[in-house]
Amino acid sequence: MKLPKAPRDFSMLINGRHVPGTGSMIERVSPAHDVPVSRIPDGQPADVDAAVAAAREAFDKGPWPWTSGGERAAILTKVAQAVREHSDELAMLETLETGKPLTQSHAEMEWTAGLWEHAAALCRQLYGDSCNTLGASTLGVTLRDPIGVTALITPWNFPLLIISQKLPFALAAGCTCVIKPSELTSATTLILADLIEEAGVPAGVVNVVTGRGETVGSRLAEHDDIDMVSFTGSTGVGKDIVRASAGNLKKVALECGGKNPLIICDDADLEGALDAARLGAYFNMGECCNSSSRILIQEGVADRFVQMFTEAAAKMPVGDPLDESTKLGAIISGRQADTIMNYVQKGREEGATVALGGERIETSTGCFIQTTVLDHVTPESCVAREEIFGPVLSVIRFKTVEEAIEIANSTHYGLSAGIYTRDYDTVIHAARRLRAGTVWINTWLQGHAEQSFGGFKQSGLGRELGRNAVEEYTEAKSVVFQTGARVSWW
């Protein structure tokens, strides 16, 4: 694959028009190759206001909220087809901006198309309710109205996939949207917006304002004409959004961080557990909210498993994401690499043993870190409790399953968890006791559009995906019918 000779220029999309914005441009350099990839407008509050006004008019006066479920389904299905048709272009841009392996980016294009197809199917499944027990002259009906103008704010690690966990379901409900992608990875979202308009979504229904969180994201969160914010990113920023949203009490949906435990018991299939743990720890360079960044291993097999794991992890190819053999690509930025390495140093200071890696990889271009294993981590240490967001695995040892569950539940997070064991009773007990939105049994990182996704505690608010995904973008409205002569109140 050839690297770009010059960055590709993009514009924002506001009310069906490509606009340059009122600020300067942000240039994105490939974290793997150090070449300019894309340039996007550095959006300002005035650009946000223009996009919100367009979305507001499209919702209040436009046809989209009143189109039939069948019409919406047909358009969303066209978007899914368009994603597949443009998958080579989208995957290449995704890899150049994020540093993830190109083979992974190609797989994400298929997952993305599947999300649009799932949303298309739900367009015809948005039901209200009726109440026929209110008396002979009264009938009650509950409707599901689109909530209105939604702001969708997405992170840099899975740009196209995460906007597709939000946008098609908001559109299926009849909402209009203003999207703010990460300034590091905006290209694929901007291309997707064009594909959406080509598929038949009216102008103003989907708007994209690029730029930084402190300007574009903050303005969206506080804007009085925004009815809902859906955000994926760090827990700290999620809290900022909740505070900023208080002005008009807009609805807020959050999918935030995780410090996800994978419990491995003495009776586990260690080969299977090893493969699941390796995927969980190092998929997307560990820059994944669902990363199994904590392995809780029972003492009887701990030494054996750590040896097996470090030998396997040491063989994982780290390098050029355009190489088909690469499993781990580049770290998203030098700033994030510094954060990761600071955590490795904290782990050492807290008494953990660096069983593997723990260093940067010296290369002529790009930003790469070795697959890293920290062993003998204590549950109270920061590397056991804080989200590192890099290829760093913390290994914690436990004696009993009850102790493991207690350790698993001991952080502020609750996004996902898992357990490897052959004991049926242990499986059921752990699945019910673990405080997490997803619990994987003898597997890890299996996600399906048909199942809900979200977190407990400080991992988020609300749920994405599943059969109720569209309802997240609606309000319930009670309608009461009176028949016959009215009985006078007086």
The crossing angle, in degrees rounded to 10, of helices 69-85 and 187-199 is: 130
485 vs 468, which has greater pLDDT? Answer: 468
One-letter identity of residue 173: A
- Residue 21, pLDDT above cutoff 80: no
Q: Quote the pTM value.
A: 0.96
Q: How confident is the model at residue 156 (pLDDT cuts 50, 70, 90)?
A: very high
Exposure of 291 by Cβ count < 10 A (0-12 exposed, 13-18 middle, 19+ buried)?
buried
Q: How do 360-361 and 438-441 pair as beta strands?
A: unpaired
- Residue 316, pLDDT above cutoff 80: yes
Residue 484 is predicted with a pLDDT of 87
Q: How confident is the model at residue 80 (pLDDT cuts 50, 70, 90)?
A: very high
CB-CB contact of 62 with 146 (8 Å): no
| Residues 169-179, mean pLDDT to the nearest whole number | 98
List, in order, residues 6 or more apart from 347 with CB less than 8 Å away: 354, 374, 377, 381, 383, 392, 394
- Residue 36, pLDDT above cutoff 90: yes
What are the tens digits of pLDDT across the range 224-274? 999 999 999 999 999 999 999 999 999 999 999 999 999 999 999 999 999
Q: How many helices (H) and strands (E) does the chain have?
A: 15, 25
The C-alpha atoms of residue 180 and residue 178 are separated, in whole angstroms, by 7
- Using only C-alpha atoms, what is the Rg of the chain? 24
Of the candidates 151, 213, 163, which has an alpha carbon nearest to the alpha carbon of residue 191? 163
Is 71 tagged catalytic?
no
Residue 366 is predicted with a pLDDT of 96
Residue 485 is predicted with a pLDDT of 85
Catalytic residue, from 108, 289, 471, 472: name it: 289
- Structure tokens belonging to residue 185: 């990875």
Quickly count: other Cβ atoms within 10 Å of residue 27's Cβ.
Answer: 12
List, in order, residues 6 or more apart from 303 with CB less than 8 Å away: none
Considering the chain, what is the average pLDDT of its residues? 96
What are the tens digits of pLDDT across the range 289-313? 999 999 999 999 999 999 999 999 9
The C-alpha atoms of residue 229 and residue 221 are separated, in whole angstroms, by 7
Residue 23 is predicted with a pLDDT of 78
Exposure of 477 by Cβ count < 10 A (0-12 exposed, 13-18 middle, 19+ buried)?
exposed
What are the tens digits of pLDDT across the range 337-357? 999 999 999 999 999 999 999
| Residues 144-168, mean pLDDT to the nearest whole number | 98
Catalytic residue, from 117, 255, 287, 387: name it: 255
Residue 482 is predicted with a pLDDT of 93
- Residue 22, pLDDT above cutoff 90: no
* Percent of the chain clearing pLDDT 90 (strictly above): 97
Residue 154's alpha-carbon distances to 28, 159, 173, 186, 234, in angstroms, are: 17, 7, 19, 10, 10
Residue 252 is predicted with a pLDDT of 98
Residue 296 is predicted with a pLDDT of 98
CB-CB contact of 181 with 163 (8 Å): yes
The C-alpha atoms of residue 373 and residue 378 are separated, in whole angstroms, by 14
Residue 486 is predicted with a pLDDT of 84
Domains of the chain (ranges; CATH) run: 8-256+455-477 (3.40.605.10), 261-441 (3.40.309.10)
One-letter identity of residue 121: A
Residue 122 is predicted with a pLDDT of 97
Instruction: State the residue for tokens 């006004």.
Output: 53
Residue 109's alpha-carbon distances to 284, 454, 459, in angstroms, are: 15, 22, 26
Residue 490 is predicted with a pLDDT of 85
Residue 376 is predicted with a pLDDT of 97
Is 265 tagged catalytic?
no
